[in-house]
């Protein structure tokens, strides 16, 4: 994977968790309050549980989708190997080097998030 930068929403427990992970794999972390009209990233990674997506997060996903910008949804309660393979292929096929990562604050309570991150770290 050639991931170089991730952008995370500021003042978020999920962002703090993802920031720690990114520092372990040598990826630059940037806090960024997303606003409609932003085009500073190559793609959007939406992490969710059981396809549950908050309204605010869905609005950001829709913004990217409507502009045909690369988006990837990862359900951390789905099959882990499929999620890893899809994420890896998505980064490679769309040449995403900078991505915005969003998800519900509740994700940090789910052990599957860390399983996903560890597997990504192993492949990085």
Residue-range domains of the chain with CATH: 5-123 (3.40.50.450)
Confidence at residue 6, expressed as pLDDT on a 0 to 100 scale: 96
Give the pLDDT mean for 60-89.
94
- The CA distance from 92 to 117, in Å, is 18
Confidence at residue 95, expressed as pLDDT on a 0 to 100 scale: 94
Mean predicted lDDT score pLDDT of the chain? 92
Confidence at residue 124, expressed as pLDDT on a 0 to 100 scale: 77
Give the pLDDT mean for 73-97.
94
Give the pLDDT mean for 18-46.
90
Q: Look at residue 86 and tell me whether its pLDDT is greater than 80.
A: yes
58 or 37: which carries more pLDDT confidence?
Answer: 58
Give the pLDDT mean for 78-100.
94
| Half-sphere exposure in the Cβ direction for 117 (13 Å, CA) | 20
Q: Which one-letter DSSP state was computed for residue 59?
A: H
Confidence at residue 23, expressed as pLDDT on a 0 to 100 scale: 93
Name the pTM for this structure: 0.92
Torsion of CA 48, 53, 58, 60, to 10 degrees: -40
Assess contact for 46 and 73: CB atoms under 8 A: yes
Tokens of 38: 């932003």
Confidence at residue 1, expressed as pLDDT on a 0 to 100 scale: 59
């Amino acid at each position: 994977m050639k991931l170089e930068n991730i952008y995370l929403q500021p003042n978020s427990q999920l962002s703090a968790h993802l920031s720690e992970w990114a520092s372990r794999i040598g990826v630059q972390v940037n806090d960024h309050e997303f606003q409609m009209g932003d085009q500073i990233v190559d793609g959007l990674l939406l992490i969710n549980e059981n396809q549950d997506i908050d309204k605010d997060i869905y609005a950001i996903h829709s913004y990217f989708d409507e502009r045909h910008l690369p988006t990837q949804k990862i359900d951390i309660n789905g099959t882990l190997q499929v999620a890893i393979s899809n994420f890896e292929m998505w980064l490679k096929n769309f040449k995403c080097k900078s991505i915005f990562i969003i998800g519900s604050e509740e994700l940090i309570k789910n052990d599957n998030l860390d399983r996903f991150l560890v597997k990504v770290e192993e492949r990085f």
